[in-house]
């Protein structure tokens, strides 16, 4: 089944089906690479993603321009020399991006029309550049649970005029620096009343190394301007006098942290992963050494 059925109602590139050297076959082959990470066999990945006449729900070719971006990326990456695991990561990111795009098109959302998909003289479009950035970050993502959020990021950026290509590049730079546990903690901090987070500080106390590591990751996020800590008077403080001064209950996301949470769809992180990430920050967690 051609990629057109996923992303558009009419086929601009009249390519015969069944030819393994066509552009469509290359992008479909890349999606198949991600089968192991996505959790399905190669055939099931394509069947799940490309099944059904999506054109009937999206009107007059709303996804055609996105189709062309992915065909170009598929052609490019199919010619690169990638290690087997890198191929899987790129394939998985492509799958997750197109899966999210499919949902948006079915929901009658429309790709942005502010020039994001238009090429400049001598240069590619911003859409092409950001997709390549997403796939390159995915290729190197040894924490593979991060990959789904890179795919979701591209889908969100492709449909939102609120985020420029320049800010998208910044977000990819920041995302690469974050661990998966930090992504989980961003989501936890976005809803501070869902968990019984510790309100007290741990200054001058001896605590287990894993708890210190979690506090160190929070501290790094304050340096990246993703997280801040409120003080008792209702203000905010940006600097901590040691990791022990971090009180998880008073942590809040900055505007940058809120945007990272939104555009990378961190609300999709599994409940089990959130509970593992937050376990050393809870009020009743025993983190002190005997």
For residue 145, being part of any structural domain is answered with yes
Q: End of a domain among 129, 146, 177?
A: 177
Residues 6+ apart with CB under 8 A from 197: 188, 248, 249, 251, 278, 281, 282, 283
| Shared-domain flag, residues 190 and 71 | no
Q: End of a domain among 146, 177, 208?
A: 177
| Shared-domain flag, residues 170 and 190 | no
Domain of 157, in residue numbers: 4-177
Place of tokens 């089906």: 17
| Shared-domain flag, residues 263 and 130 | no
Per residue of the chain (290 residues), what is the pLDDT tens digit?
444 444 443 333 233 344 444 456 767 777 778 877 887 654 555 555 555 433 332 233 456 778 888 888 888 888 888 999 999 999 999 999 988 988 898 888 999 999 999 998 889 999 999 999 999 999 999 999 999 999 999 999 999 999 999 999 999 999 999 999 999 999 999 998 899 998 888 877 778 888 889 999 999 999 999 999 987 665 555 555 678 888 899 999 999 999 999 999 999 999 999 999 999 998 877 677 65
For residue 285, being part of any structural domain is answered with no
Exposed, middle or buried: residue 140 (CB in 10 Å: 0-12, 13-18, 19+)?
exposed
Overall domain count for the chain: 2
For residue 290, being part of any structural domain is answered with no
| Shared-domain flag, residues 23 and 142 | yes
For residue 115, being part of any structural domain is answered with yes
| Shared-domain flag, residues 160 and 227 | no
Residue 245 vs residues 12, 171, 229: alpha-carbon distances, Å: 59, 28, 10
For residue 286, being part of any structural domain is answered with no
* Residue 213 CB coordination number (10 Å): 14
For residue 288, being part of any structural domain is answered with no
> Given strand 236-237, what is the order of strands in its sheet?
236-237, 227-230, 251-253
| Shared-domain flag, residues 145 and 158 | yes
| Shared-domain flag, residues 65 and 35 | yes
For residue 284, being part of any structural domain is answered with no
> 49-77 burial, b for 16+ CB within 10 Å, e for fewer?
bbeeebbeebeebbbbbbbbbbbbbbeeb
| Shared-domain flag, residues 48 and 136 | yes
Task: Of 129, 16, 112, give the one whose Cα is nearest residue 65.
Answer: 112
For residue 283, being part of any structural domain is answered with no
| Shared-domain flag, residues 65 and 156 | yes
Distance CA 247, CA 241 (A): 12
Q: End of a domain among 177, 200, 228?
A: 177
| Shared-domain flag, residues 151 and 85 | yes
| Shared-domain flag, residues 154 and 12 | yes
Task: Of 182, 79, 87, give the one whose Cα is nearest residue 140.
Answer: 87
pLDDT of residue 218: 95
pLDDT of residue 50: 55
| Shared-domain flag, residues 173 and 186 | no
């Amino acid at each position: 089944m051609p990629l057109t059925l996923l992303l558009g109602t009419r086929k601009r590139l009249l390519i015969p089906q069944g030819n393994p050297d066509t552009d469509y076959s290359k992008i479909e082959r890349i999606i198949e690479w991600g089968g192991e990470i996505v959790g399905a066999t190669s055939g099931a990945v394509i069947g799940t993603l490309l099944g059904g006449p999506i054109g009937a729900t999206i009107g007059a070719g709303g996804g055609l321009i996105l189709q062309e971006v992915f065909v170009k990326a598929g052609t490019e990456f199919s010619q690169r020399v990638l290690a087997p695991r890198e191929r899987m990561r790129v394939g998985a990111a492509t799958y997750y991006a197109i899966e999210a795009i499919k949902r948006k098109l079915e929901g009658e959302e429309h790709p942005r029309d502010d020039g994001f998909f238009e090429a400049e003289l001598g240069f590619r479009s911003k859409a092409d550049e950001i997709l390549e950035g997403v796939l390159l970050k995915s290729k190197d993502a040894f924490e593979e649970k991060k990959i789904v959020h890179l795919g979701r990021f591209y889908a969100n950026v492709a449909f939102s005029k609120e985020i420029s290509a320049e800010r998208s590049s910044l977000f990819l730079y920041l995302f690469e620096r974050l661990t998966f546990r930090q992504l989980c903690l961003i989501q936890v901090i976005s809803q501070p009343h869902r968990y019984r987070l510790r309100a007290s500080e741990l200054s001058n106390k001896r605590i287990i190394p894993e708890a210190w590591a979690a506090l160190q990751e929070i501290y790094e996020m304050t340096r990246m301007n993703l997280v801040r800590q409120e003080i008792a008077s209702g203000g905010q403080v940006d600097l901590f006098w040691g990791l022990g001064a971090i009180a998880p209950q008073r942590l809040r996301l900055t505007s940058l942290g809120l945007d990272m949470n939104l555009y990378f769809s961190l609300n999709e992180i599994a409940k089990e992963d959130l509970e593992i990430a937050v376990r050393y920050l809870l009020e009743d967690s025993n983190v002190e050494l005997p």
